Amino acid sequence: MGEPVVRARDVRMRYGRAEVLRGVDLDVQAGEVVALLGPNGAGKTTTIEILEGFRPRSSGEVAVLGADPGKGGDRWRARLGVVLQNWQDHPRWGVRQLLAHIAAYYDDPRDVDELLEVMGLAGQAGQAVGRLSGGQRRRLDVALGIVGRPELLFLDEPTSGFDPEARREFHGLVERLARDEGMTVLLTTHDLAEAERLADRIAILVGGAVQVCGTPSGLASVVRAASEVRWTEDGAPRAERTSDPSGLAYELHRRFGGPVPGLEVRRPTLEQSYLDLVAGAAAEGRAA
């Protein structure tokens, strides 16, 4: 494996007396899609803004595309695509006009009209930016983020305000960018289904640090939320939670002396694992 595109070690961030990040470690490899997940106020935006070079960190080491984001110059910045949570800009500019204006800053930008088409904004090309709906504005944000063909794309809650159709289309777009163009993507989201769908790896930020990082399927087993085993006994439904479902199924099989009626094993969903982790970190915070 080569040098990671994003490398963060023991990153800390204080706002006044509050320490929001307490030692974030994160690696993103070239071509990976990584989702940073965490409850409100966990520090996802703070982390991503530090990586983008928009926010100075209190301490820790960070390298993004080989440079310290606090010191990256224009050429470094041109290799990044950034979609912030809120852009406040150019309300009177036309959609196409703004996109073409930004495209002109790059050496090899995407075709603006093709991009408008892909983003479902062709019908709004002549409309003023300030008159777009929330979801249309968000699509424009994403278009602005990728118009310069970045190697690394940061997306801060990219699909907030999208309707289900737009969300599906957006997921398809991210998959194409990663698969066909090898773009590396780091996104934040609250949406577990989105993280599961898009990400090669999910990093969960709780209590100021990345507590768990792994593939969506690996995550569920790392967090070890117990599986639920269900069966029918004496005509009544029974259920038991266990971290060893096959052991319990074997025991039941022996007890029944053969097939267990209505046997069913339910593995924890990613959502359950995530909720367990957040609840555990909150309980530890209270204990401390």
Ligand X SMILES: Nc1ncnc2c1ncn2[C@@H]1O[C@H](COP(=O)(O)OP(=O)(O)OP(=O)(O)O)[C@@H](O)[C@H]1O
Q: Is 88 in the site for ligand X (CB under 6 A)?
A: no
The two structure tokens encoding residue 153: 């794309």
Q: How far apart are CA 201 and CA 272, in angstroms?
A: 17
Among 1, 2, 17, 40, binds ligand X (CB under 6 A): 40
In one-letter notation, the amino acid at residue 114 is: E
Nearer to ligand X, 14 or 224 (CB): 14
Nearer to ligand X, 44 or 96 (CB): 44
Name which of 187, 207, 229, 172 is nearest 279 in CA terms.
207
Q: How far apart are CA 117 and CA 191, in angstroms?
A: 26
Q: Is 146 in the site for ligand X (CB under 6 A)?
A: no
Q: Is 73 in the site for ligand X (CB under 6 A)?
A: no
Among 20, 67, 128, 226, binds ligand X (CB under 6 A): 20
Q: Is 159 in the site for ligand X (CB under 6 A)?
A: no
Q: Is 249 in the site for ligand X (CB under 6 A)?
A: no
Q: Is 38 in the site for ligand X (CB under 6 A)?
A: yes
Among 3, 9, 14, 15, binds ligand X (CB under 6 A): 15
**Smallest separation, CB 11 to ligand X (Å):** 12
Name which of 281, 277, 163, 171 is nearest 224 in CA terms.
277
Q: Is 208 in the site for ligand X (CB under 6 A)?
A: no
Among 46, 124, 136, 227, binds ligand X (CB under 6 A): 46
Which strands, in side-by-side order, build the sheet including 209-214? 80-83, 152-156, 184-189, 33-37, 201-206, 209-214
Q: Output Rg (C-alpha) for the chain, integer angstroms.
A: 23
Instruction: Tell me which stretch binds ligand X (CB under 6 A): 42-50, 89-97, 243-251, 256-264.
Output: 42-50
CA–chain centroid gap for 228, Å, is 28
Q: Give the footprint of ligand X on this chain (CB under 6 A).
A: 15, 20, 38, 40-46
